[in-house]
Copies of this chain bind each other. A is one copy, B any other.
C-alpha cells in the first residue's frame, strides 16, 4: 500500500495540515518541522496522489492556444485538434481558449501575449514567428508566472519550457536524403520553396536540406529558397516562373505551406519528370501523393502536438516531469503506400 499524508503525519509526529503545507511549499512552518516532514516523506517514499489532490482542489487548468488565422490547411487542422481537446475538457480538467492572430504578424502575437492575465491563465501554447519582440513578450509572460510552450515553430532564444514540434533540421535533412535518392545520380537543380524565413521551422528545414545536398549529393544544386508567405497563389506563380526559367530543375522541395499552388504549377509528368517532396499531409497533398504527383510528404502529427502541449503544460503546472519519450514528435514520412 502506498503511503498517504496520514502516514507522513504520523511518522513525522505532526498534523495533516502541516504535512500539506510542507508538501505544497506553503509558508508558515518552522524550518525544523519542514525537515521532519521531508525526512518522513523520504523514509516512506511518499508520492502524492495527483488525482486525489485535483479532486480536493477542484482544479482546472486554464490554457490558451495562439495560432495564425487564414486558409492554411495545416493550421486549420491544428485548430481542429485543439477543438477536439476542448471536447475532452471536462475529463482532463482543462479550460482551453483559442486566440487567432493574422499570420506573419509578430506585433499581433505580442499583443495577445501581453494581454494575458496570469491570474486567469495557467499555460500558453503558441505558433510563433521567431522574432526578438515575440521572444521578449514570451519572456515577460514567463516572468509573470505563466508557462509557455512553442508549437510547430520554435523560439530557441526564449524562456519557453518546451517545444511541441519536430526537429526541423532533421526534417530538412530527411527531405534532402529522399530527394537525393529519388534523383539517383542525375545531376541538376533543386528548387526550394519556403514560406518565410521569419519562421524558425522553415529556416531549419532549409539548412538541413542544404547541408545534406552539399555533403552527399554534390551534383544537385539548390535554386532558392524562394519565399511565398505560405500563400498558394504566390507559390504557384513562383514555381511556374522558376520552372520556365531553369530547365535543369529536376526536383522540388516545398518546405512550407501553399501546397495547392505547388500542385497547380506542376507540369505533366509525361513531359517533365520531377522528384517532389512537400510538408504536411492535407487534403491536397494526400491526393497529390496518391496520384504520384508528389513522391513523399513529410508530416508532423498535429493531434500529437496538441495533446503533448496540454500534457506538458499541465505537468508543469503541477511541478511534474512528463514522460519525455511520449512528448517527442516524430518526423512522419508518407509515401503513397503508407498514407493513413
Contact = CB atoms under 8 A, between A and B. Distances in A.
A307 interface: yes
Given A51-B54, A51-B55, A326-B303, A177 B336 contact: yes
A223 interface: no
A171 interface: yes
The 9 tightest CB contacts between A and B, nearest first, are A51-B51, A173-B337, A174-B338, A333-B333, A177-B337, A184-B184, A174-B337, A177-B335, A331-B338
Contacts of A331: 338
Interface string A199-212: 00000000010001
A176 B212 contact: no
A340 interface: yes
A248 to B, nearest CB: 19
A307 B326 contact: yes
A50 interface: yes
A49 B56 CA distance: 13
Given A51-B51, A326-B307, A330-B332, A338 B181 contact: no
29 contacts: A2-B90, A47-B91, A49-B55, A50-B91, A51-B51, A51-B52, A51-B54, A51-B55, A55-B55, A88-B323, A171-B338, A173-B337, A173-B338, A174-B335, A174-B337, A177-B335, A177-B336, A177-B337, A177-B338, A178-B335, A181-B181, A181-B182, A303-B325, A307-B326, A330-B330, A330-B340, A332-B332, A333-B335, A333-B338
Most buried by B among A182, A323, A330: A330
A10 to B, nearest CB: 19
Contacts of A170: 337-338
- Could you say which of A303, A307, A337, A340 has the most chain B C-beta atoms within 10 Å of its C-beta? A337
A221 to B, nearest CB: 19
A78 to B, nearest CB: 13
A328 interface: yes
A177 B334 CA distance: 11
A337 B176 contact: yes
A230 interface: no
A335 B91 CA distance: 39
A301 interface: yes
Interface in A309-340: 323, 325-326, 328, 330-333, 335-338, 340
Contacts of A55: 49, 51-52, 55
A171 to B, nearest CB: 7
A280 interface: no
A333 B330 CA distance: 10
A181 B326 contact: no
Contacts of A182: 181, 184
